[in-house]
């Protein structure tokens, strides 16, 4: 497990925003991954996607690493933020904007507002 944990840690450390997901940001392979990738893509966030379907060790290892049972999993500035439901709630409440501002992650503020307006 320590080898997988090191690989995951290296991935998390290599980018400001990392999404462990099923599929890729261009072609998500589950609805939950699609929702989170869609939010990040729409907001113009520069993030690394890690397709857990292409690596069984990472697929299980990320669950152990975060002690979180589901995928997708979003990391910002090296910290685990949450899965689909948490990211959706944070997007709609404006908390995700605040986190990105705090961690100096670039995103389109107008796009974030449009998401909230469309879901009001």
pLDDT at 110: 97
Residue 68 contacts residue 39 (beta carbons within 8 Å): no
**pLDDT digits 0-9 by tens, 47-91:** 999 999 999 999 999 999 999 999 999 999 999 999 999 999 999
Strands (E) in the chain, as ranges, are 17-21, 48-51, 73-76, 79-82
Burial class (CB in 10 A: 0-12, 13-18, 19+), 7: middle
Tens digits of residue pLDDT in 29-46 = 999 999 999 999 999 999
Class of domain 2-118: alpha beta
Question: DSSP states of 91-118 as a string?
Answer: HHHTHHHHHHHHTT----HHHHHHHHHH
Q: Is the pTM higher than 0.75?
A: yes
- The per-residue pLDDT for range 96-112, each reduced to its tens digit, is 999 999 999 999 999 99
- Contact between 73 and 66 under an 8 Å Cβ cutoff? The reply is yes
């Amino acid at each position: 497990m320590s080898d997988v944990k090191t690989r995951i840690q290296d991935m998390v450390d290599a980018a400001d925003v990392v999404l462990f997901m099923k599929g890729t940001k261009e072609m998500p392979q589950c609805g939950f991954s699609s929702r989170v990738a869609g939010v990040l893509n729409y907001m113009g966030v520069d993030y690394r996607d890690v397709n857990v379907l292409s690596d069984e060790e990472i697929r299980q290892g990320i669950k152990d690493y975060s002690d979180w049972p589901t995928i997708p999993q979003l990391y910002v500035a090296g910290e685990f933020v949450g899965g689909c439901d948490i990211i959706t709630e944070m997007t709609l409440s404006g908390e995700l904007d605040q986190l990105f501002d705090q961690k100096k992650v670039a995103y389109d503020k107008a796009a974030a507002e449009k998401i909230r307006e469309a879901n009001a």
